[in-house]
């Protein structure tokens, strides 16, 4: 995965996340639940990227 691809995916995720929070998540959940969901999503995304980096570094 190139750096440009990671920037693209990050920007796309930020835009979709902003729309989702503003129009959907705050309508259904309170602020605390939305923050907990966002923290979990960030942990999941970092775990996926970290595992991809480790997998590509193997000989």
For the question of whether the overall pTM of this predicted structure is more than 0.85, the answer is: no
Does 1 or 20 have the greater pLDDT score?
20
Residue 25 confidence (pLDDT): 81
Q: Among positive and negative, which fits the CA dihedral 48, 4, 7, 19?
A: negative
Residue in this structure with the two tokens 């989702």, named with its chain if needed: 20
Residue 40 confidence (pLDDT): 95
Spatial neighbors of 22 by CB under 8 A, at least 6 apart, are none
> For residues 12 and 4, is the Cβ–Cβ distance under 8 A?
no
Dihedral over alpha carbons 10, 14, 16, 18 (to 10 degrees): 170
> pLDDT tens-digit profile of 3-59?
898 899 989 989 998 898 888 888 888 889 988 988 998 999 899 989 988 888 777
**Percent of the chain, pLDDT > 90?**
32
């Amino acid at each position: 995965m190139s750096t440009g691809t990671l920037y693209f995916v990050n920007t796309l995720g930020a835009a979709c996340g902003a729309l989702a929070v503003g129009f959907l998540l705050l309508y259904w959940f309170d602020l605390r639940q939305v923050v907990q969901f966002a923290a979990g999503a960030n942990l999941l995304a970092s775990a996926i990227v970290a595992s991809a980096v480790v997998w590509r570094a193997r000989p």
